[in-house]
Amino acid sequence: LGLDRSPAEFGLRGENHWFMPDLDDHDGVQRLPGEGTLYVSFASLNNPAARFHTVELLELVDPKVVDEWRGTPETERPDSYRKFKDELTGRLIARLEERWPGFRETIAFAELATPLSFETYQHSVRGSFYGLAATPQRLRSARAGCRTPVKGLFVAGQDAWGSGVVGALAGGLMAANAVLKPRQMGTMWQAIRSGGTTRDPATPWEGYLRVAGIEVLTPTVRRIRFEPLDGDTMPFSFAAGQYVKVDLPVAVEPIERSYSICSSPGESGFVEIAVKHEPDGLGSGFLHEELEAGLALRVSGPHGEFTWEPGSEEGTADTLLLIAGGVGITPLMSVLLAAADAGHTGRIVLLASHRTEDEVVFGPEIEALRSRLPGLEVSVFATDRTGRIGLDELLPHAGPTTRVHLCGPAPMMQDLIGCLTELGVPREAIRTEAFVSGRSKETRREKAHAIAVAAAAAGVTEFMIGTEGGAPEFPCPPGQSVLDAANAVGVALPQSCGEGACGTCRVRVLSGAHETDDRGMFSADELAAGWRLACQTLPTEDLVIGR
């Protein structure tokens, strides 16, 4: 069943329900279809981010109830079969209505499958869709179990042991016992006995957060606050400058988007992001037009190396220069809040560029921070009136002892990296963060597909990637990035986000043709020298790379 409202309105919480009128009736199996033992599942309620809801009803029946139509082609079954299905659907829905008055009104769609449906589409024996037949002969068979006559091939799941969910669990354990080495098997059973393993703090957290508030900052930018589903404390901590990945339910499968955190790392009760509404943007369009407070979304984080830690060696630079273009100020806002919370007294310079004065983000918040950060200097540029940030604007602030955090559109970052280098800022002191849109990811997938198709037509199955210094070459299948190819064979390359946002996976292409997207992570001179992002570089012939 497809519903137009949440079944939670009837006090349901995602649990399963069994309707069992046959427990005290030995002849109960002879009841009419629709009146026997019935299982009802509200699985969508177990997904806190579900916007639409479904219900599954499963009744145990004798397959003989459809014998009169067995053998007829699926497209030629008579009207009597359709009438049987319609009446059976009505009886099942009536039982839900009796249990939860008003439930019928929530049903927007209903589709019923009979044993014939499972025979037609799944080739199940007489509609027994829970795997192989649950008979004594099957359980005594030499073929029952997880091992097969084919060397290296094992069966997991219910067909290795028995029917249903418990059978699937048991079959999985049997297969694991068969393939794991003794030491690995001991680790598995130890984890099972202890109730699971403890999450590695270095691994990003994954789970659901609830939207607690939505605030309009400018005509095109919204601030969104997330809080824990349960309790008062966020399930993860983060460093200033990091970001989260959010699954957005805008298609058949959720799309994943990355958004920088703009709240303080010292705040334990919530985390905030700021999102600009991009024209035709699926993710930002949903967050601006459909998102409502109370909705839960699946989130993972924190991610990213675009960080600043108060008191660290990097945090004690003579000047911390923060440069933002548009909504690129989002992670830098978190840096400013972290500095204020830590009582930072050093010099911090913020240069923020926006297209118009109406698009200036975090103006009131930055003004309020002046009293908490005695060394803060702020310059805001409206490019339609005062022009862009350039060499002259950087000159009073940039030098050999300056640490820079730069976030904005790719052309802006490319130009400013060149200017900063010209002013003597060490390249390793320039940290960059790029915008990664769904459109850019789709473009990369299209390029990868085109490269793979062209290589297949030419009979090429792999490119070879050599490394400076004579290290062994490694293969790269056409359409795969340099970083993915290196990871596949265990060649260590610096990396963090894997999607072109952080700039960590810098490599230098010394020779060989390729497709790439630099995301504004390099100056024009660096690009000319061959610097590329390994995660965005797709070989079209053999390459040689260096560091």
Judging by beta carbons within 10 Å of its beta carbon (0-12, 13-18, 19+), is residue 512 exposed, middle or buried? middle
Residue 308, SS3 per DSSP? strand
Q: 118 and 171: one domain?
A: no
Looking at the 3D structure of the chain, how many domains does it have? 5
The residue among 256, 272, 303 that closes a domain is: 303
**139-170 b/e (C-beta count within 10 Å ≥ 16 → b):** eeeeebbbeeeeeeebbbbbbbbbbeeebbeb
Q: 420 and 331: one domain?
A: yes
Q: 500 and 396: one domain?
A: no
Q: 319 and 280: one domain?
A: no
Residues 6+ positions from 496 with CB-CB distance below 8 Å: 303, 304, 305, 502, 504, 505
Calpha distance 60→529 (Å, rounded): 70
For CA atoms 106, 109, 115, 121, give the dihedral sign: negative
Residue 199 inside a domain? The answer is no
Residue 342 inside a domain? The answer is yes
Q: 27 and 121: one domain?
A: yes
Residue 133 inside a domain? The answer is no
Task: For strands 402-407 and 430-433, give the pairing.
Answer: parallel
Q: 185 and 220: one domain?
A: no
Residue 525 inside a domain? The answer is yes
Give the domain CATH number at 277.
2.40.30.10
What integer pLDDT is reported at residue 380 of this predicted model?
93
Q: Output the six-digit token pair for 435.
A: 């915008």
Residue 135 inside a domain? The answer is no
Q: Output the six-digit token pair for 352.
A: 């923020």
pTM reported for the whole predicted model? 0.77
For CA atoms 428, 272, 354, 412, give the dihedral sign: positive
Q: 27 and 117: one domain?
A: yes
408 CA to centre of own chain: 23
Q: 424 and 450: one domain?
A: no
How many other C-beta atoms are found inside a 10 Å radius of the C-beta of residue 352? 25
The residue among 283, 303, 323 that closes a domain is: 303
**Domain containing 104: what range?**
2-127
362-366 LR contacts (CB < 8 Å, sep 24+) = 362/217, 362/262, 362/274, 362/329, 362/333, 365/333, 366/333, 366/336
Alpha helices in 276-389 (DSSP H): 282-289, 329-341, 363-369
**468-483 b/e (C-beta count within 10 Å ≥ 16 → b):** eeeeebbebbbbbbbb
Residue 308 inside a domain? The answer is no
Give the domain CATH number at 537.
3.10.20.30
Give the domain CATH number at 325.
3.40.50.80
Residue 526 inside a domain? The answer is yes
Do 131 and 158 meet the contact criterion of CB atoms below 8 Å apart? yes
Q: 425 and 343: one domain?
A: yes
Q: 333 and 385: one domain?
A: yes
The neighbouring-strand residues paired with 205 are 301
Q: What is the mean pLDDT of each run of 10 residues along the chain (547 residues)?
A: 95 93 65 90 92 92 92 90 96 96 96 93 84 78 86 88 85 92 89 75 89 96 96 94 92 86 96 93 92 94 89 73 95 96 94 93 95 95 86 93 92 92 92 71 83 93 89 92 92 80 86 87 88 92 91
Residue 198 inside a domain? The answer is no
Q: 356 and 471: one domain?
A: no
What integer pLDDT is reported at residue 193 of this predicted model?
87
Q: 100 and 160: one domain?
A: no
